Structure 1
Amino acid sequence: MATTTASIRISVSPDRVWQLIGGFDTLPDWLPYIPKSELGEGGRIRSLTNQEGGLIVERLEAFDERARTYSYSILQAPFPVTGYLSTITVLENLDSGCSRVEWSGTFTPVGIGDDEAVALFHGIYTDGLAALRRTLAA
């Protein structure tokens, strides 16, 4: 099993960040790679369409509004991994009033090495968090 975590400091309150990213159906609001999201099964499943038209289906596994965090698994995706579980968390930077957003994942590579899988998802998380910062700055 492989794992990776990316984080970013954002000069915006945690509540404002969570308001944007805390909904399970809000990826198109801040992540350019995902222009379309549709909810199913009472909001527990999201079907995402990426920029290339590929389908990614994810299940909400845990949600904690108070702690500003949720976890999800991938049910279907064009990624060379199985057993994928990811968590997004918005933390408060108490000394500055800013936020720190963490995006982490665990997964088992299939047909590629751990380093290649880690690089793939670390890049997705890092690019996604940079897009989040840009969206909040606009």
Structure 2
Amino acid sequence: MAQAFWSSVFASSADQTWAVVRQFNGLPDWHPGIRASEIIGGGNGLTPGAVRILTGVDGSTYRERLVALDDAGRKLSYEIVEAPLPVRGYRSTLHVQPVADTGGAFLSWHAAFDPAEGSTAQEAATVLEAAYAPALANLHTIIA
């Protein structure tokens, strides 16, 4: 499996950061490439199995399923069911950890996937990381 990864250190506490990130239906609040999210089944958006439809600012749509939500460990995992991305078998985890010396938070966004036919692992990772970077940059402005 190929992997993509992005991370950032936040001045806000791990609990403050997690309160925003844990909202499976809240991605439009902090991802500048996503304009809408709707839970279409499987629960209320905080229950594993919940399915969301994301609409990008370009009109593209993404169907994703919440795999796990671990408040104690501050981890949210989801998988892509259907999306216009060069990946197959995509599963991703956002993990918020406390930073001991500053009281801030470290947020990592890690994905494992197979590149879609016609795409290399590096090409797919570049596309994913190009989506993660502005999302985490914008998250800083939301929880500053």
- Runs of 4+ in structure 1 off by over 4 angstroms are none
Q: Which residue of 2 aligns with 1:52?
A: 58
Aligned with 2:143: secondary structure?
helix
Q: Which residue of 1 aligns with 2:26?
A: 26
Identity of aligned residues (%): 37
* Greater fraction of residues in helix: 1
Q: Which of 94, 114, 124 is the aligned partner of 1:117? A: 124
**How many residues align structurally?**
137
How is 1:1-138 mapped onto 2 (pairs within 5 angstroms)? 1-41=1-41, 42-43=43-44, 44-110=50-116, 111-137=118-144
1:55-78 superposed Cα distances (whole Å, 9 cap, x missing partner): 100000111011111100000100
User: TM-score, normalising length from structure 1?
Assistant: 0.95
1:51-109 superposed Cα distances (whole Å, 9 cap, x missing partner): 01111000001110111111000001000110000000111001110000000101111
Aligned with 2:33: secondary structure?
coil
Aligned with 1:16: secondary structure?
helix
Amino acid at match of 1:51: V
Shift of 1:40: 2.2
> CA separation in 2, counterparts of 1:39 and 1:68?
21
Kept in 1: contact 2:75–2:96 (CA 8 A): yes
RMSD between aligned alpha carbons? 1.0
> CA separation in 2, counterparts of 1:83 and 1:105?
10
